[in-house]
Amino acid sequence: MHDVTERQPVLYLSHGAPPLADDERWTAELAGWSAQLPRPRSVLMVSAHWEQAPVTVSATSGEVPLVYDFWGFPQRYYDVTYDAPGAPELARSVAGLLGGAGETLHQDPARGLDHGAYVPLVEMFPDADIPVLQLSMPTLDPRRLFDLGRRLAPLRDEGVLVVGSGFTTHNLRWFRPSDGPGSAPPTPSAEFDHWAAEAVGAGDVDSVLDFLAKAPAAHEAHPRTEHWAPLYVALGAASVDGDVAGRSVIDGFWYGLSKRSWQFG
């Protein structure tokens, strides 16, 4: 990895369920991606699985606990650990940036990293030696989340890697374990993925924010928008560069869901 003084990029990744760890191709893609990044001083995770208003951050003292926010899986998925240190300095920086916009940052000292945060981090930074802070989404409103990302953009110059963790398509009715992870995606998933690749690749922020009206099969790809919403924060944080065209780093499908992931900056 490179020098920590570099401005950090911004990521939006499709995080997968806990069985992602069993997919050798996807885990290798995540590991290869992180190996090409400047080593961050800390990581700020915005996961689809934490909606809370007002905006709140996770535990910052000691090792950050994990939230096993899934049910019905084999025990080995609940035995996964990721003992990353807390990030109190990052929490103070986030509080300062939000306070400057008149917003108060709350902290939940018992809140750990949910699977949208720790599942990809285990693959990308397996040594768990980088401080991590998780930030809640206080709303699913596209413009408000984009503006939140813009306020967080200065963190990038402090060595903070801002990561939005969702899923490029997320309709669990398409998830059929018997079909296998490499099965052909449903047509709506493929259509939405193609549109997303073009819109995000072109930096078409207006279309991305208004995807329910602009994208094909949008309501099928996202019956609820929480897995697309972390992308709004990522786009806002990337906008400090004036270039929000995303570079698609991972593509393809997993049990019919698009795992496309982008890097900005």
Burial of residue 30, with CB atoms counted within 10 A of its CB: 0-12 exposed, 13-18 middle, 19 or more buried: buried
Span 66-112, pLDDT tens digits: 999 999 999 999 999 999 999 999 999 999 999 987 888 999 999 99
Say if residues 57 and 105 touch (Cβ distance below 8 Å).
yes
- Spatial neighbors of 130 by CB under 8 A, at least 6 apart, are 39, 40, 41, 42, 43, 84, 85
Helix ranges (H only) for the chain are 24-35, 88-99, 115-124, 142-152, 187-201, 205-209, 211-214, 218-221, 230-238
Percent of the chain with pLDDT over 70: 98
Span 100-149, pLDDT tens digits: 878 889 999 999 999 999 999 999 999 999 999 999 999 999 999 999 99
Mark 170-209 as b/e (b = at least 16 C-beta within 10 Å).
bbeebeeeeeebeeebbebbbbbbebbbebbeebebebbb
Q: Which domains does the chain have, with CATH numbers?
A: 10-264 (3.40.830.10)
**Does the pLDDT of residue 9 top 50, yes or no?**
yes
- The sign of the dihedral angle between the CA atoms of 89, 249, 26, 20 is positive
